[in-house]
Chains A and B, each alone.
Chain A
Amino acid sequence: GAGVSQSPSNKVTEKGKDVELRCDPISGHTALYWYRQSLGQGLEFLIYFQGNSAPDKSGLPSDRFSAERTGGSVSTLTIQRTQQEDSAVYLCASSSSGQGGSNYGYTFGSGTRLTVV
Chain B
Amino acid sequence: AQKVTQAQTEISVVEKEDVTLDCVYETRDTTYYLFWYKQPPSGELVFLIRRNSFDEQNEISGRYSWNFQKSTSSFNFTITASQVVDSAVYFCALAGGGNKLTFGTGTQLKVEL
Contact = CB atoms under 8 A, between A and B. Distances in A.
A110 interface: yes
A55 B99 contact: yes
Interface stretch (B41-49, B57-65, B66-74, B78-86): B41-49
- The interface centre, meaning the residue of B33, B43, B100, B101 with most chain A CB atoms within 10 A of its CB, is B101
A110 B105 contact: no
Contact of A106 (B43, B52, B96, B101): B101
Given A99-B33, A110-B43, A111-B43, A45 B50 contact: no
Interface of A: 31, 33, 35, 41-43, 45, 48, 50, 55-56, 58-59, 89, 91, 93, 98-101, 103-108, 110-111
A42 B33 contact: no
B47 A98 contact: no
Interface string B24-52: 00000001110101000001110101101
Interface of B: 31-33, 35, 37, 43-45, 47, 49-50, 52, 91, 93, 95-106
Contacts of A99: 31-33, 95-99
11 contacts: A41-B105, A48-B99, A56-B98, A89-B43, A98-B99, A99-B33, A99-B98, A103-B50, A105-B49, A111-B43, A111-B44
A108 B102 contact: no
- The interface centre, meaning the residue of A50, A56, A101, A107 with most chain B CB atoms within 10 A of its CB, is A101
